[in-house]
Amino acid sequence: MNQSIAQKISALRQEIQTHNLNYYTLDAPTVTDAEYDRQIKTLRELEEKYPEYTSPDSPSLSVGGPVLDNFSKVAHELPMLSLGNVYSEEELAEFVERIQKQLKNTQVLSFCVEPKLDGLAISLLYEQGKLIRAATRGDGAVGEDVTYNVKTIKNIPHILKGDNIPERLEVRGEVVMPIAEFHAFNQHAIANEAKSFVNPRNAAAGSLRQLDSNITAQRPLAFYSYGLGIIENGSLANSHYQRLQQLKAWGLPLTEEVTLETGALGCFEAYTQLLQKRPILPYEIDGIVYKVDDIALQEQLGFIARSPRWATAHKFPAQEEQTRLLDVEFQVGRTGAITPVAILQPAFVGGVTVSRASLHNADEIKRLNLKIGNTVVIRRAADVIPQIVRALPDAQEKNREIIFPTTCPVCDSEIERIEDEAIARCTGGLYCAAQRKEAIKYFASRKAMNIDGLGEKVVEQLVDENLIHNPADLFNLTAEQLIPLERMADKKANKLIAAITQCKNTTLPKFLLSLGIREVGEATARNLANYFLNLEALKHANIEDLLKVDDVGDIVAQHIVAFFRQKHNQEVLQALLDTGIHWPEIKAKEQQAQPLEGKIFVLTGTLTQMDRNEAKQALQALGAKVSGSVSKKTDYVVAGEAAGSKLTKAQELGITILDEAELVNLLS
């Protein structure tokens, strides 16, 4: 039994020492903070239960990790200790009660309450008000000299301002990388195929430990004070809170969330408020810190091996946890986007149990180097959808590759992914059940088939009641089927059936637009109709044929070919034609009879007789191109009311300017 306990304690100590090295020294954590806290707690419980196995070099008694050989060592004149933790309101009450018992004090105590910043602890030494040295916490007794790097942090004063500054003053605080700057830094790094950081804490630590201070200077770091070490030849207030305010007056940064609270109840209220505020803070915090405010009482309480008795940290629910990736499913969104979803071994994180997380796309899987079976770190901040942050090092040979499907998991249509696009999509837009509602709404919209009365809610009811499965089914509906629907009486039902029948008489451009082919808008649909003249020719066009059409590039051509290649789309398309949908024949000579062919127009300001979209369509119907910006190539600028910079530029370039009345005359 004892042999087994001794081995367990020894193995746990070795594992924690490795975590300390990775986290504090190498800035490359291999477990989450929550998992680390659990291991430390387990070790302490074992050492308390079996005191015969206690050891002075146990990580339960140490602070931080070893110092890197690359930096000069700095011995702290006063040790830089860490804090104990509480995890509940009950444990907080026990902490306060324990202090009062030791002080033999039944009065309600005041506490200085501060956010627990998730960064790198450092010491700043000022002599005669000038910054002369900066050091990391290191192992609590010895840290790394990072003076040159710290001096590049913009909000750290090199010279303190004001009066009554002690001759020697050691300020302690946290270096962080603000959240917004962290995300911007990582996005830039990924875009340039450079190293990105796991989280803001590691970004701050890694940036501060650069051997070249010029690199540190380029990193968006910030510092916030939380306490004092050495104080020589100077006097400060006997209140921890007031001392922090004095530091602020001398020019040292202080977080706005520092407050003065009374008793356990006041501390817990501050905890609750800060937890609610956490998602909008500019920096990462992982809890709140309570410190007895009276300095004399702090000195009376003293310290235990690695932490002060007069302070503790109250940890927030973990935003990151580690669990196992069990499988990956592929979901199809309303627009056909294929999204991989991680199936996880359930884990409690961010206040909820998480068993699924979005993986976004194939590029994200590749970036994370994920395999089924990996131990992964998941993150859930506030109400943010859980996501996998990284995979932890483990036995890769035991894990399975994640294979992205080549056909839609819902309708079995081909999946299309255009080069340089992150998202893969199902091409069965007219058939795929996952895209059904959006496809039908788009088919019926004003710019497409313009079915009056077939709004979003009606479409959703029709699909939910299994009355329609694709756009062709609309033409088989009867008034009797519609009347039972919500807010649908006899008159409205018959009117909708009439509108559906009426829309059968359309134009080829409108019909092409109604199919919902990716990136085929009104202008492209019109150009396709005018070039190919009929649907059959377009259906059999290849990439080379399509590239000859004005406004059609490689990507749009690929979308069109992929759409018409799908058997399911072909079936729905034929079903639509079988309902009697028709349009006037487009003759080749009509293509060439465009009075505004080659003319470039720009619309600006507010039009009163028609909206700008109607004006744009009318101009395009006569062969004109409508641009969004004015250039030397522009032929006409149509200026409505309150026309702005486009009108000014047109006047400078000497371009012909038309008012709305002149536009109407031109169109007629």
pTM over 0.85: no
**Predicted pLDDT of residue 382:** 55
CATH topology of domain 2-53: Helix Hairpins (1.10.287)
Closest C-alpha to 134, from 240, 28, 48, 213 = 213
Whether 2-53 shares its CATH topology with 73-315 is answered no
CATH number of 320-398: 2.40.50.140
Phi, psi of 260 (to 5 degrees): -115, 120
Taking domain 415-588, whether its CATH number is 1.10.10.10 is answered by no
Q: Which residue has 């444990």 as its token pair?
A: 91
* Confidence band, pLDDT 50/70/90 cuts, at residue 45: confident
* Confidence band, pLDDT 50/70/90 cuts, at residue 592: low
Contact predicate 82/98, CB 8 Å: no
Most confident range (mean pLDDT) of 371-375, 376-380, 610-614 is 371-375
At a CB cut-off of 8 Å and minimum separation 6, what does 73 contact?
A: 67, 138, 142, 143, 144, 145
Task: Tell me what the mean pLDDT of segment 571-597 comes to.
Answer: 82
Catalytic residues: 116
Higher-pLDDT residue of 624, 467: 467
* Token pair recorded at residue 623: 């062969």
Residue 612 vs residues 402, 650, 657: alpha-carbon distances, Å: 48, 18, 16
d(CA 301, CA 558): 74
Phi, psi of 479 (to 5 degrees): -60, -35
* Token pair recorded at residue 382: 């506030």
**Predicted pLDDT of residue 1:** 44
* Confidence band, pLDDT 50/70/90 cuts, at residue 550: confident
Per-residue pLDDT tens for 460-489?
899 889 999 999 999 999 999 999 888 888
**Predicted pLDDT of residue 15:** 80
CATH architecture of 73-315: 2-Layer Sandwich (3.30)
* Token pair recorded at residue 219: 């990193």
How many other CB atoms are found less than 10 A from the CB of residue 636?
21
User: In the predicted model, what is the mean pLDDT of the chain?
Assistant: 87
Domain segments of the chain: what residues? 2-53, 73-315, 320-398, 415-588, 594-667
CATH architecture of 594-667: 3-Layer(aba) Sandwich (3.40)
